[in-house]
Structure 1
Amino acid sequence: MAANYSLDDLRYFCTIVKLGSFKKASADLGMSLSTLSRRIRLLEQTLQLTLLNRDAHRITLTHTGELYYDRYRKLFDEVECIEQALCDEKEQPTGKIRISAPIYMGKHFLSAIFCEFLLQYPDIQLDLRFSNNLIDIEKEGIDIAFRVRNPAIEDWVIRKLKLTHNLLCVHPNYDHQSITHPEQLKDHPKVTCLGLAPWQLKNQQTSEEYSFNPNTHVRLEVDEIQMMKQAVESGVGISYIPDYIALPLIEATKLKRILPDWKSDGQPFSILYRDRKQIPYRVRLLIDHTLQHFTNV
């Protein structure tokens, strides 16, 4: 049978017993003494039981009151602990943050940010999941995800951090003078990376767009950018390399760019987090820390 009494009134009852008087309980609960007395009388009338014996100097529990108090005080103590934990989560920089990011981009752009954050907040732990696979971030309980391009994920906020472009690169000693258009790449050895095909290119001078599918004369196909970079540095073939990797190597003369008028459109590197008002404080701190870093770059 459904209970028709108020749990609030039971909590008031437990507070009276715990503090030993109606006066102290009314002050603790922030209500008038007359209102508190009325609520307890209403509770007893609803239960058709007497819970408290009252006299001019003190209150005592009836036998039934002892049974109710022993059972419900544990419940309200647990609720109080839960409420305190939730309050701490909102206001204290503590706890664990679960993060997902692509392997090489995560290492290249995020490692220093994460280490700096951990040094600033010693009571926060980061659980990093570096993977090139698009994991189910809801199922895995991810708090913050970093992604290339902008996937449509319901109820998640997507904030663009930076744009990256892919460039065509080869070993400096490779004879590439005969290549004047991306369609001619089919006759040359290539190094490809899963997730980076087809090679979408746009001429920055003429705005011509060309989609090249590197499916012929492929010397090496990998699923990790670091190995792709190393293969091109070694002279294995031509590849389509993110600019944040290629440009420092071009400047150091370890790679050479071919078809310099051609590159991909900008691919957004973004941070994703749940669209909700009550984001845990620790998660909000890391989001703000990351956004601030990319704003200053």
Structure 2
Amino acid sequence: MIWEGVSEFVSVAESESFTQASQKLGVSTAQVSRQVSALEQRLNIKLFYRTTRKVSLTEEGRVFYQHCRSVLDGLDTAVRAVTNLQSKPQGKIKLTAPVSYGEQQILPLLNDFMVEYTEVDISTNLSNQRVDLVEEGYDLAIRIGNLSDSTMMAKKLGKRTNYLCASPGYLASNGMPNSLSELSQHSCLLGTSDYWRFREGGKEKTMRFVPRFRYNGGIGLVDAALKGLGIVQLPDYLVQDHISNGGLISLLDNYREPDEWIWAVYPHNRQLSLKIRLLVDYLAKHIA
């Protein structure tokens, strides 16, 4: 008895329509209305304001909805948990990631994951544009840096470091910059961003330059730096090996910006299926 009408009430609250709620639940509008009315009678509380044009929650209805939503989410999680214990990961995952990082780091890991879990297929769109995960039907996004969308859930996968660097040959010909102000005297090679970021005096500092040229691909910038064409600011996965073997020299390390977090992001109102949870854990393990 206590559960009767709760699903109908939540559906009406979220759709603000008895008709849309009935379509979502696959029952008649009259059935939804009867269940909600019976629930109001049992609680002796008015849950909705009803007009011919609009249905909206009362103050009591908003409080009741928040608790009911939490209960239903918990029930859904419980059902998924026991179901997943008896199942194996399978089906499709739709994922998006930044172009350079995705190509260099994420795609090889996705391939390894699909070798291990042969019934999972991952469709990936590499893009530097922030896509709407819900609107475009993505299950997961890999994002780097600060997150601005509070409607999303996120898990930290690891960190990346951005290095300012140049080749020994370039530095021999043009000198070593010893301060941020000296960078304007050098050949600065830019990518898709119009500026470089640093940390000076405990504060973030951005600097813009007139580049000798610019590429929208990190691999081309690395090659240009190795061939002595100028200074670049690029993430560790592109330049770390070259710095280690002496092909590139790290510059102005005291001004380096703090490491950026790498995130797995997914819609707030979407429970993680077994296949997605396993993928997120797999990425976190291998990226870290």
TM-score category (smaller protein): 0.5 to 0.7
Q: Counterparts of 1:106 and 1:226 in 2: how far apart (Å)?
A: 13
Paired position in structure 1 for 2:207:
212
What is the TM-score normalised by the length of structure 1?
0.62
CA contact (8 A) 2:154 2:263 kept: yes
Give the SS at the match of 1:191. Answer: coil
- Cα deviation for residue 116 of structure 1 reads 1.9
Q: 1:222 aligns with which of 211, 215, 218?
A: 215
Q: Counterparts of 2:269 and 2:198 in 1: how far apart (Å)?
A: 38
Paired position in structure 2 for 1:136:
132
Q: Return the letter of the residue paired with 1:291.
A: A
Paired position in structure 1 for 2:105:
109
Paired position in structure 1 for 2:160:
164
- Cα deviation for residue 229 of structure 1 reads 1.3
- Cα deviation for residue 98 of structure 1 reads 0.3
Give the SS at the match of 2:262. Answer: strand
Q: Counterparts of 2:216 and 2:110 in 1: how far apart (Å)?
A: 25
CA contact (8 A) 1:150 1:270 kept: no
Q: Return the letter of the residue paired with 1:150.
A: N
The structure-2 alpha-carbon separation of the partners of 1:3 and 1:193, relative to structure 1 and needing over 3 Å to count, comes to: closer
Measured against aligned partners, the alpha-carbon deviations of 1:86-120 in whole angstroms (never above 9, x if no partner) come to x79x9442210001011221123223321221112
Q: How does 1:66-85 map to 2 (within 5 A)?
A: none
Q: Counterparts of 1:285 and 1:158 in 2: how far apart (Å)?
A: 15
Give the SS at the match of 1:109. Answer: helix
What is the TM-score normalised by the length of structure 2?
0.64
Q: How does 1:28-43 map to 2 (within 5 A)?
A: none
Matched-pair identity in %: 23
Give the SS at the match of 1:173. Answer: helix
Paired position in structure 2 for 1:94:
90
Give the SS at the match of 2:253. Answer: coil
Q: Counterparts of 2:273 and 2:241 in 1: how far apart (Å)?
A: 38
Q: Counterparts of 2:154 and 2:119 in 1: how far apart (Å)?
A: 27
Q: Counterparts of 1:279 and 1:91 in 2: how far apart (Å)?
A: 14
RMSD across aligned C-alpha pairs, in angstroms? Answer: 2.7
**Aligned residue pair count:** 208
- Unaligned residue ranges in structure 2 (runs of 5+): 1-27, 32-82
- Unaligned residue ranges in structure 1 (runs of 5+): 6-86
Q: How does 1:193-212 map to 2 (within 5 A)?
A: 193-195=191-193, 197-202=194-199, 207=202, 210-212=205-207
The structure-2 alpha-carbon separation of the partners of 1:262 and 1:246, relative to structure 1 and needing over 3 Å to count, comes to: farther
CA contact (8 A) 1:183 1:212 kept: no
Larger radius of gyration: 1
The structure-2 alpha-carbon separation of the partners of 1:116 and 1:178, relative to structure 1 and needing over 3 Å to count, comes to: closer
Q: Counterparts of 2:252 and 2:92 in 1: how far apart (Å)?
A: 46
Q: Counterparts of 2:241 and 2:165 in 1: how far apart (Å)?
A: 12
Paired position in structure 2 for 1:292:
285
Q: Return the letter of the residue paired with 1:117.
A: F
Q: Counterparts of 1:113 and 1:278 in 2: how far apart (Å)?
A: 23
Q: How does 1:20-35 map to 2 (within 5 A)?
A: none
